[in-house]
Amino acid sequence: MIRRKNADWQLSNELVTPKRAFLNRRQIMQGMAVAGVTSLAGCGQGEALARQAPTDGQLSARSTGYAVADDLTPYEAVTGYNNFYEFGLGKGDPARYASAMTTSPWSIEVSGLTDIPRNYALEELVDFDALEERIYRLRCVEAWSMVIPWIGVPLGPIIDRLAPSGDARYVQFETYLNRSEMRGVRFPVLDWPYVEGLRLDEARNDLAFLAVGLYGEVLPNQNGAPIRLVVPWKYGYKSIKSISKIRFTAEQPDTSWNLSAPNEYGFYSNVNPNRAHPRWSQETERVIGGGLLERRQTDMFNGYEDQVAALYDGMDLIENH
């Protein structure tokens, strides 16, 4: 077994556990559920690798050292205060309407500059017997944030399996689009389908994650079931939900928000308290689930400077916002 030294943003398990003791009752119970199934996770060795993706209920996950030195955001806020414009602009709309989305069976079409373009069943890409729990802060560009115990798999190894060819430099993700299931796409708020992108070296960074669950459970539809991106050093809109297509490109791909307002939303979208959004400051953020007035200082790269700053060496991060 390889023991890795914790990076600066990772807390040791000894630090994580007492933090959890401050959680409310529901959080403690859900935390215990995660820990309980974690201990069973090793028993599956030797069984078939891929099993069908569950559509609800609990998920087994190995706890990792990825943590944040703040309380978890209550489950009710994580699943009740959402941005998923395909279901409406109100923060409560996704929880109200996203259950209309069909999430099983699910496949992802992989195309562009890859040696093996084809459709993959979700289960071919994600081994549901080898999931990790990672606690990351999601910092929304609207200047609020949440701390969420995500469950999923690192993105980098999946990118490698999809075999981008030598001239591929970017990866674009696209959200599922179904006009009869998604009442919000009647309105031209964005140019549907929702698309996002990363440079390949960003996508291969150890922090980039594909989530299939949160709080020990299968991802609720409003949070991007059955599979969504979580890029913790970037504003929340990069963390595209309900991914149905992945495309490798040589040129920087379109992203929905960059297309709709390039002055406000750049391709990189790294959390940067020094660059104000043209209509508001990014220096602080509201803590969702905290008191009405509770705010915290926003950190450069959302606190992951040591892990990701090198990706942007020599770049002007105000111009390349």
Which residues make up the interface to ligand MTE (CB under 6 A)? 82-86, 138, 140, 175, 194, 223-224, 236-237, 239-242
Structure tokens at 286: 């509201």
114 or 175, CB closer to ligand MTE? 175
Q: Give min distance, CB of 244 to ligand MTE, in A.
A: 10
Structure tokens at 138: 């999601």
86 or 133, CB closer to ligand MTE? 86
Report helix, strand or coil for 308.
helix
Residue 14 phi, psi dihedral angles, 5° rounding? -60, -35
Structure tokens at 299: 């950190």
Q: Give min distance, CB of 142 to ligand MTE, in A.
A: 7
Question: Distances from the Cα of 261 to the Cαs of 91, 143, 192, 233, in angstroms?
Answer: 21, 17, 15, 21
45 or 180, CB closer to ligand MTE? 180
Q: Give min distance, CB of 8 to ligand MTE, in A.
A: 25
Distance CA 186, CA 184 (A): 5
138 or 198, CB closer to ligand MTE? 138
Closest CA to 18 of 31, 9, 5: 31
User: Please, are residues 173 and 245 in contact by the beta-carbon 8 Å criterion?
Assistant: yes
Residue of this chain nearest to ligand MTE (CB atom): 236
126 or 219, CB closer to ligand MTE? 219
Q: Give min distance, CB of 310 to ligand MTE, in A.
A: 26
Question: Distances from the Cα of 252 to the Cαs of 171, 198, 201, in angstroms?
Answer: 8, 8, 13
Q: Give min distance, CB of 189 to ligand MTE, in A.
A: 9
Q: Which amino acid is it at 226?
A: P
